Amino acid sequence: MILQPILNLVSICSQKGVNNAVLSPGSRCAPITLAFVRHPKIHSRTISDERSAAFIALGMAQQLEKPVVLVCTSGSAAYNYAPAIAEAFFQQIPLIVITADRPPEWIDQWDGQTIRQEGIYGQHVKGSFTFPDDYNHDDKVWHANRIANEAINLAQQFPAGPVHINIPLREPFYPEDGEVFSFDTKVKQIEAIFSESMISSEVKEKLKSKLSGFNKILIVPGQQRPNEKIQKTLDRIASLDKAVVVTDTISNLQSEESVNFHDHFVGNKLFQEDLKPDLIISFGKSIISKSLKLFLRNSDAEHWHIQHGGYTPDTYQSLTNTISCQALSFLNFLDENITANQFYSALWKQLDQKVKNSLPALLSDAEFGEYKAIATCLKVIPDHSKLHLANSMAIRYVNLLGIRKQELICNRGTSGIDGSNSTAVGCTFTTKDPVTLITGDLAFFYDRNAFWHNYTMPNLRIILLNNHAGGIFRLIDGPAKQPELEEFFETKQNLTALNLCKDFGFEYHSVSGESDLASVLEKFYHKSLTPKVIEIKTESIRNADILKQIKQKINERID
């Protein structure tokens, strides 16, 4: 039965440093599954729910900065990968998605677990490949090898992302008793060599001339992983007032030198004209703050976006230059070729400092709710840890609270609520550091199958904001004004995490007040054999009122 090209595919993965696979049970995928499981250098895990499996693989690949393999059987199983594949595409996270398929003659013949799988992920993969449907000719074997090499190389080529390999398989596809899998250690590998893109002398002269026409420069980093070298360069630029560095929390580039509380004041009409830049410089991916996006779209500034390659979005509707190079290379050039504007820098920093000075007292005096609870929890989360944030209110609260020292991770590629639990679980498989997930109730219960597997996660901590509704809709003018708000937008529910924690053997704590929360947090990060969950119970209506009140009081103090 042994299908050598499939064994060679696994060998090529290993040779290229792809050593983690997340597999979902199925019959048609048996030879692919067994090849990964039996390879001595591949670490394989099995996750039954394909949607969760794909987000777990995404969480692993994001941390490893290497592709992780996904394998599933034919039919609708493959479609369950789609949300995570779209997220990986827009976050530029490499995945090798391998789907077993019926041979072509059985497509559209009403055979079981058979759908049209070729190109199933559309424009949300970097490439879609189909293996030969038999290996009886040397050219077919050569073709399979070339596909394997090309797909894995493409996943890692900048910008990284998911690729799809569809493998048609005919029966029989289970090995005979005692059949040995022989992995070829010298299987042909096509090596891809990637080089860093630096700014040429000619481009530097051109940009130097353009820079002389700007004196109010705003640097806006988008979502990315922490980078010590970029951080130091940005801090130097900001400390010398050469430019203002405005950072959302998911940039992982916040510091005492950057503007971190901008979400509280950029929408204030009193300051908009004075705060407007004449040049926006961006790098990285998306930002969170809607207020900042709207402010920049109305700034009439030029916009330069820096990235090594790939398509360039025009997020602020003012894109004038795309500069193809590494961000650090450009920032070092910028540092050497711009002069200080102390007045412009001082205005941003003064407003930022006013918010920073006001917020602790306002939170201390506020009624207990999600906002105050998150602020309390953030004080005890270890600095050297991973902090995962679900979309909707969890990420927004943390962004409002300013500078963080942990690595911040959030699925902002598509910004959906699906998969935040699973992404955090994948992260726990890559590190022994604490991994904390802050999430709302809808995102948490939507992805409960993230925990339906047999692997330990002693470093996982979950802070669950349960207001029994989608509270963010009370803060959006449209749905907030509708009489159908509670039933059709908030989608109220009565679940708690207690039974889920019993099912999976997690340590569970329920709190509804400030003193209860403080008491539980004292030992929350002590070592344990199982994950721990704090469920913070609040009311959606009160949470919205508290947030509005604090925002109003901050605006009164900075006016």
Residue ending a domain, choose from 114, 147, 168: 168
> What pLDDT is recorded for position 18?
97
> What pLDDT is recorded for position 199?
83
| Same domain membership, residue 339 and residue 383 | no
> What pLDDT is recorded for position 488?
66
pLDDT digits (tens, 9 = 90+) for 410-434: 999 999 989 999 999 999 999 999 9
> What pLDDT is recorded for position 475?
66
- 451, pLDDT greater than 90: yes
- 113, pLDDT greater than 70: yes
> What pLDDT is recorded for position 490?
66
Place of tokens 């025009």: 314
pLDDT digits (tens, 9 = 90+) for 1-16: 568 999 999 999 999 9
Contact 54, 85 (CB under 8 A): yes
| Same domain membership, residue 392 and residue 341 | no
pLDDT category at 474 given cuts 50, 70, 90 is: low
pTM of the entire structure? 0.94
DSSP H helical ranges for 197-271: 201-211, 228-239
Number of domains in the chain: 3
pLDDT digits (tens, 9 = 90+) for 489-545: 667 788 999 999 999 999 999 999 999 999 999 999 999 999 999 999 999 889 989
| Same domain membership, residue 343 and residue 372 | no
Residue 190 lies in a domain: no
Which token pair is 372? Answer: 């105050």
Q: What percentage of the chain reaches a pLDDT higher than 70?
A: 97
Residue 229 lies in a domain: yes
| Same domain membership, residue 439 and residue 387 | yes
pLDDT digits (tens, 9 = 90+) for 150-167: 999 999 999 999 999 999
- 472, pLDDT greater than 80: no
In the predicted model, what is the mean pLDDT of the chain? 93
| Same domain membership, residue 371 and residue 317 | no
DSSP class per residue in 164-190: EEEEE--S--SPPTTPPP---TT----
Q: How many CB atoms lie within 10 A of CB 212?
A: 11
Domain holding 305: CATH number?
3.40.50.1220
> What pLDDT is recorded for position 281?
98
| Same domain membership, residue 469 and residue 539 | yes
Distance between CA atoms of 156 and 149, rounded to whole angstroms? 11
| Same domain membership, residue 545 and residue 505 | yes
Residue 436 lies in a domain: yes
Q: Which of 261, 260, 211, 258 is nearest to 232 (CA)?
A: 258
Residue 539 lies in a domain: yes
pLDDT digits (tens, 9 = 90+) for 160-190: 999 999 999 988 778 888 788 888 888 988 8
| Same domain membership, residue 215 and residue 94 | no
> What pLDDT is recorded for position 471?
64
- Side by side, which strands form the sheet with 302-307? 244-245, 217-221, 279-283, 302-307, 319-324
| Same domain membership, residue 516 and residue 401 | yes
> What domain range includes position 158?
4-168
* Helix and strand totals (H; E) in the chain: 20, 17
- Side by side, which strands form the sheet with 20-23? 43-46, 20-23, 68-72, 95-101, 162-168, 127-130
pLDDT digits (tens, 9 = 90+) for 373-384: 999 999 999 999
> What pLDDT is recorded for position 487?
66
Q: Which of 511, 546, 524, 538 is nearest to 364 (CA)?
A: 546
Residue 434 lies in a domain: yes
Q: Which residues contact 12 (CB under 8 A, 6 or more apart)?
A: 145, 148, 149, 152, 187, 189
Which token pair is 514? Answer: 């400030």
| Same domain membership, residue 127 and residue 14 | yes
pLDDT category at 87 given cuts 50, 70, 90 is: very high
> What pLDDT is recorded for position 477?
66
| Same domain membership, residue 153 and residue 22 | yes
pLDDT category at 470 given cuts 50, 70, 90 is: low
Residue ending a domain, choose from 323, 352, 381: 352
- 126, pLDDT greater than 70: yes
pLDDT digits (tens, 9 = 90+) for 44-69: 999 999 999 999 999 999 999 999 99
pLDDT digits (tens, 9 = 90+) for 226-264: 999 999 999 999 999 999 999 999 999 999 999 999 999
DSSP, collapsed to helix, strand or coil, labels residue 232 as helix
Residue 443 lies in a domain: yes
- 327, pLDDT greater than 80: yes
Residue ending a domain, choose from 352, 378, 406: 352
Residue 359 lies in a domain: no
- 368, pLDDT greater than 90: yes
Q: Which of 463, 454, 457, 450 is nearest to 517 (CA)?
A: 463
Q: Which residues contact 297 (CB under 8 A, 6 or more apart)?
A: 316, 317, 318
Domain holding 96: CATH number?
3.40.50.970
pLDDT category at 71 given cuts 50, 70, 90 is: very high
> What pLDDT is recorded for position 259?
98
| Same domain membership, residue 518 and residue 373 | yes
pLDDT digits (tens, 9 = 90+) for 216-225: 999 999 999 9
Residue 473 lies in a domain: yes
